[in-house]
Amino acid sequence: MPVHPKDASRRKRLRHLALGTVSLGLGVLLLWKQTGFFLPAVSVLALLILLGGIARLWNWAAQKPRKPQELFLGLICLLLGGVMARFPSVTLYAAPFLFSAYLMLNGIVKLVDTALSMKERSEELIFCLIPAAFYLTFAGILLFLPQAHVRAVLICAGIYCLLLGGTYILDYVHSRIPAARRGLRRRLRIGLPALFSALIPHSVLLRLNGFLSQGREPEEFEDLVGGKSGEKPDLELFIHVSATHPFMAIGHCDIWFDGELIAYGNYDEAAQRPLGMGPGVLLISNKYDYIPFCLEFNQTTIFSFGLRLNPAQKSAVRARIREIKEQLLPWDPEELPANRKRFAARLQREQGARFYKFRSGRFGTYFVMSANCALMADWILSAAGTDILKLNGILSPGAIYDYLEAEFLKKGSMVVSRNVYRLPLTARQLREQDRALRPGKDLR
């Protein structure tokens, strides 16, 4: 039975409320009871992981053809759950090491950003150097005396849970209170940990594939059913994700605005360097040629969110894009023979896309952990007043998906539509879909 749009939205809002409430409760218990709560919680979590492992092994045995990854994940869950259940104190004393590793990762990312800022002579050098010193200092303290800092880690986790819970509860409150569409105040947003938010689009895609395998239509899928309006958006953000390609499990995002599709990435594949680095390349294309080409070439599914902007927001976004274009130099993907059969060269030959490199600045060098496609999208969207940027500074397409979905559920927000693009899809079909939308009105 098809899901009614109002029912789908209500369920998603209630999930946000539930997540916020649970996070808030966890935060209170961690701050109040600390180790007295953490150890029983580990036992409960171990039981859930064991049950999840058994369920995966059951699915593996029942499926035809059997999927090796289900067997692997099932065995990993059984091993992890068994260790946690048998040695809960090990998990407690491992917490500082894990937290330290997370801080160390952030510190290393910021150090790389610092080096890139020095190389590109970016004005953001100080904004990279200070966080790098902060993360690495505290990571070193935790590594030096991990057992003495168990309580400190639990307190930090408790505070984070309180802030996360507050964010999702506020999302629920705003989704229930009608408001005139307007630009959002730019602020830091407390989101899910980077690892979890990065995998959000991939998890949605897996659920969508399972849904479609039952012979049902994409329009009936709960995460995609219905849009708040039939208006044509002023700006669209696309999130590409694959269920099979390991790197595309994290995804890629790009923006359509004023008739141009703008994407940023490591498209000079012949010049790629270790650690997910390489020359930053911006491409400008036609949406109707680009979307079908990407679906076919990368074998991805593309989720999209449409935004309606008022005149001031449109002007601000245009100014931001103009600022980006002032840094560009034309680049030919076929100047190196190694690139001629790859994505950029084929897109240029077959669809007439234009490619550019940066003279200098933050995006001159692509870095998968920071100066990436998600940061470019956030840099453009921030001109309209969005608040995607998170405290940890590691931004992924999944973090943007999480934010835009929350905004879509709010009454009166500027996120007015969501969609999914899958094969087979032609440029003609995509144009017909857009022509079916009614012209939107400027938001005052």
DSSP structural state of residue 442: P
Residue 101 scores a pLDDT above 90: no
Across the chain, mean pLDDT equals: 76
End-to-end C-alpha distance for the chain, whole angstroms: 39
Report which residue type is found at 206: L
Instruction: Answer whether 166's CB lies under 8 Å from 363's CB.
Output: no
Residue 37 main-chain phi, psi, to 5 deg: -95, -35
- CA 41, CA 48: separation in Å to the nearest integer? 11
Residue 411 scores a pLDDT above 90: no
Looking at residue 191, what is its pLDDT?
64
Other CB atoms closer than 10 Å to residue 147's CB: what's the count? 8
What's the pLDDT band for 123 if we cut at 50, 70, 90? low
pLDDT digit string (tens) for 160-214? 777 777 777 777 776 666 554 444 444 555 666 666 767 777 777 767 766 666 6
Q: Which is higher by pLDDT, 75 or 30? A: 75
> Strand 328-331 vs strand 277-279: parallel, antiparallel, or unpaired?
unpaired
Residue 356 scores a pLDDT above 80: yes
What's the pLDDT band for 237 if we cut at 50, 70, 90? very high
**DSSP codes of every residue in 200-217:** HHHHHHHHHHHHHTTT--
- CA 57, CA 320: separation in Å to the nearest integer? 51
Instruction: Answer whether 396's CB lies under 8 Å from 198's CB.
Output: yes
Interaxial angle between packed helices 125-144 and 88-120, expressed in degrees from 0 to 180 and rounded to the nearest 10: 150
What's the pLDDT band for 441 if we cut at 50, 70, 90? low
Sign of CA dihedral 47, 52, 54, 55: positive
Residue 4 scores a pLDDT above 60: no
| Of 79-93, 221-235, 270-284, 354-368, the least confident | 221-235
Buried b (16+ CB within 10 A) or exposed e, 396-411: bbbbbbbbbbbbbbbe
Residue 220 scores a pLDDT above 70: no
Across residues 361-386, what is the average pLDDT? 82
**Kind and range of the H or E element at 253?**
strand 252-257
CA atoms within 13 A on the CB side of 283: 25
Looking at residue 228, what is its pLDDT?
56
Question: From its phi and psi, is residue 158 left (phi > 0), alpha (psi between -120 and 50) or beta?
Answer: alpha
Residue 256 scores a pLDDT above 90: yes
Looking at residue 211, what is its pLDDT?
66
Size of the chain in residues? 444
Looking at residue 355, what is its pLDDT?
92
Across residues 125-137, what is the average pLDDT? 68
- CA 99, CA 233: separation in Å to the nearest integer? 41
* Site of tokens 């759950």: 81
| For the chain, percent of residues with pLDDT exceeding 90 | 7
What's the pLDDT band for 257 if we cut at 50, 70, 90? very high
Q: Two tokens at 179? A: 């408001």
The percent helix, strand, coil of the chain (3-state, each to 5) is 60, 15, 30
> Strand 260-265 vs strand 281-285: parallel, antiparallel, or unpaired?
antiparallel
Residue 420 scores a pLDDT above 90: no
Looking at residue 5, what is its pLDDT?
47
Looking at residue 1, what is its pLDDT?
45
Q: Which is higher by pLDDT, 360 or 440? A: 360
Across residues 262-277, what is the average pLDDT? 81
Other CB atoms closer than 10 Å to residue 245's CB: what's the count? 12
pLDDT digit string (tens) for 322-353? 989 988 899 888 777 777 778 888 888 888 88
- CA 265, CA 390: separation in Å to the nearest integer? 21
Looking at residue 391, what is its pLDDT?
45
Highest mean pLDDT among 23-27, 198-202, 222-226, 388-392: 23-27
Q: Which is higher by pLDDT, 132 or 127? A: 132
**DSSP codes of every residue in 111-142:** HHHHHHHHHHT-TTHHHHHHHHHHHHHHHHHH
Across residues 64-69, what is the average pLDDT? 68
Residue 255 scores a pLDDT above 90: yes
Other CB atoms closer than 10 Å to residue 280's CB: what's the count? 26
- CA 2, CA 360: separation in Å to the nearest integer? 51
